[in-house]
Amino acid sequence: MHRDSPQQSMNPSSVTSISLSFRMCTISLNIRGIGQMGKISWLQRICNKEKPTILGLQETKCGQTRDNTIESFWGNSDFKFVQKDSVGASGGILTIWDTNIFSFTYAIEGEFFLAICGTWAGHDSEIAFINVYGPHSCSKKLRLWNELSSLINSLNIPHIVFGNFNEVRNKTKRMNSEYNQHWADNFNNIINNSGLIDLPLGGKRFTRICKKTMKFSKLDRLLVSDGIFTIWPNTSSKTLDRDLSDHCPIILRNNLLDSGPKPIRVFDTWLDLKDTDTVIERAWSTPTIGNRPDCIFRNKLKNIKMELKKYSNQLDNIDSQIRDHLTECNNWEQTAETRPLSELKKHKWTEEKMQQIVNEKKKINMLKQISRIKWALEGDENLKYFHNYIKRRTSKNNIHGM
């Protein structure tokens, strides 16, 4: 069933800054009864600290969750949600999203999952988030795998599948509990055949702990498609601290890497110009404002950057210089066809030719550097598969926690 929060006027000017369009934080938690004592306060602490854009809860054990209940832990009224009611006191799925960032289009409800599709702020393409609560019965698990496979194959958009699957992928993901290789193989097949990527979870090794019998297992997962890395290249996941449930919350987010101010871009051709050293020395000796040594150093670098930027304008007319030298060479050659040239004129002709060659090399070097910068920023559309592969490997190789 689709439930909305109270209607609000969505004015584009009221939407948070554009940086939010690149922020993604998805949290999944098997809450084991949202109405139990202390669970709302626990969710409130998680939302206050992590600021999720998508929050998926499994095993809510309730019929209809009210708007004011969600607002009490979400922290504001900028949300909407869809939910799948529980059957008696078991099951129940709830997915909540930030309306400032995710624009909901439609929902797909299955027997054991609830999917939402929509657009992300700053991106034109649709994205799907699939919240899963896996059954315990083997026959029902098979139905879930078939439903998920059909849904994923029908989606031609980036998607994230998360939740409690109630199944592990191999024997190392269980401790002191029963392991079934056949059902683990079925689970692995659905992941591999659907092209899903099982992101490594930083933090705890297991996501579900039964204190009474000391059973450990990794039942909660975050699975993503290749297209997610195109939107959020620095995606990583980890477990959060377990509190009032026997399951740990798991979080998926893109790490916004802030490397500080952009570095100074220097072209090799600048180093060949005789006045480059003078420009840098003059900029470095210019008085700067600041008391702390680090501020003074930063401002000096700014001065150098600005002076080099002005100085680089001299190279903007390199094409016209090449044409001028080429024209001059052609004139000397035409003259040489009608009468012999003196040694002085031959020397000038040679100088023009050499200068043309030097400028051509400068232009080639500049184009090489510019093309490398553009390739690094934009990539090559013909190599989309390889770019996604590199981004996926980078994400897997990240250290997600200790």
| DSSP character string of 318-367 | HHHHHHHHHHHHHHHHHHHHHSPPPHHHHHHHHHHHHHHHHHHHHHHHHH
pLDDT at position 112 over 90: yes
The pLDDT score that the predictor gives to residue 338 is 78
Burial 126-161 (b: 16+ CB within 10 A, else e): bbbbbbbbbbeeeeebeebbebbeebbeebeebbbb
Other CB atoms within a 10 A radius of the CB of residue 112 amount to 23
Rounded (10°) CA dihedral 262, 267, 272, 274: -40
The pLDDT score that the predictor gives to residue 310 is 75
Best CA proximity match to 57, nearest among 89, 84, 78, 23: 84
What is the tens place of the pLDDT at every residue in 307-342?
877 776 655 567 777 788 788 877 877 777 777 878
Decide which of 233 and 393 is more confident: 233
**53-67, 148-162, 292-306: the lowest-pLDDT one:** 292-306
At residue 8 the predicted structure's pLDDT band, cuts being 50, 70 and 90, is: very low
The secondary structure of residue 103, as a DSSP letter, is E
Average pLDDT on 389-400 reads: 64
What is the tens place of the pLDDT at every residue in 268-280?
666 666 677 888 8
Distance CA 98, CA 119 (A): 12
**69-73, 131-135, 323-327: the lowest-pLDDT one:** 323-327
Decide which of 364 and 67 is more confident: 67
Q: For residues 313 and 267, is the Cβ–Cβ distance under 8 A?
A: no
The pLDDT score that the predictor gives to residue 387 is 62
Distance CA 41, CA 30 (A): 15
At residue 401 the predicted structure's pLDDT band, cuts being 50, 70 and 90, is: low
Distance CA 243, CA 211 (A): 12
Distance CA 148, CA 193 (A): 11
Average pLDDT on 360-379 reads: 62
Distance CA 15, CA 12 (A): 5
Q: Name the pTM for this structure.
A: 0.64
Contacts of residue 9, defined as CB under 8 A and 6 or more positions apart, other chains included, come to none
pLDDT at position 165 over 70: yes
Strand segments (E) across 110-211? 113-120, 126-133, 159-164, 174-175, 197-198, 201-202, 208-210
The pLDDT score that the predictor gives to residue 313 is 63
Structural domains of the chain sorted by starting position, each given as residue range(s) with its CATH number in brackets: 2-258 (3.60.10.10), 268-382 (no CATH)
The pLDDT score that the predictor gives to residue 159 is 96
Residue carrying structure tokens 């035409």:
334
Best CA proximity match to 228, nearest among 115, 120, 336, 383: 120
